[in-house]
């Protein structure tokens, strides 16, 4: 069956450090992968989309890598700030229908 796995434990890091979040998937052949941020009680907010032929994508302090051989995406936040504390979700298009499927998300806590 298709699975998307993200670190189930919260990631606690110190302000200024780089946060790295992992998204692993099985039984998918995604053309692209997306990352979203979600704050408590609010809807997810789109951050980045990376295509299968792109190894890396950057947006300001954010960087995403996509390794289709390892079936893994890494999401980096450099120079992290307490305001980056949130849940980060990765999402893939399911092979069964044209729908976006989300991982369970990883909670990031940045301490000052």
Partner 1 sequence: KAGVTQTPRYLIKTRGQQVTLSCSPISGHRSVSWYQQTPGQGLQFLFEYFSETQRNKGNFPGRFSGRQFSNSRSEMNVSTLELGDSALYLCASSLRQANTEAFFGQGTRLTVV
Binding mask 29-68 for partner 1 (x = CB under 8 A): -----x-x----xxxxxx--x-------------------
- Regarding 90 and contact with partner 1 (CB under 8 A), the answer is no
Whose Cβ is closer to partner 1: residue 102's or residue 109's?
102
CB-side neighbour CA atoms (13 Å) of 84: 28
- Nearest-approach distance from CB 41 to partner 1, in angstroms: 8
- Nearest-approach distance from CB 102 to partner 1, in angstroms: 4
Residue showing tokens 């946060």: 19
Q: Strands 11-14 and 106-111, how do they pair?
A: parallel
* Burial state string for 36-64 with b = 16 or more CB within 10 A and e = fewer than 16: bbbeeeeebeebbebeeeeeeeeeeebbb
Residues within the interface to partner 1 (CB under 8 A): 34, 36, 41-46, 49, 89, 91, 93-94, 97-105
């Amino acid at each position: 069956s298709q699975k998307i796995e993200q670190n189930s434990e919260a990631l606690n890091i110190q302000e200024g450090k780089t946060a790295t979040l992992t998204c692993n998937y099985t039984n998918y052949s995604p053309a692209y992968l997306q990352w979203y941020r979600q704050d408590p009680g609010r809807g997810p907010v789109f951050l980045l989309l990376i295509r299968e032929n792109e190894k890396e994508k950057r947006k300001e302090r954010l960087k995403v890598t996509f390794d289709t051989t390892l079936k893994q995406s890494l999401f980096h936040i450099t120079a992290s700030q307490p305001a980056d504390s949130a849940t980060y979700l990765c999402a893939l298009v399911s092979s069964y229908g044209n729908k976006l499927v989300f991982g369970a998300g990883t909670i990031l806590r940045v301490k000052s």
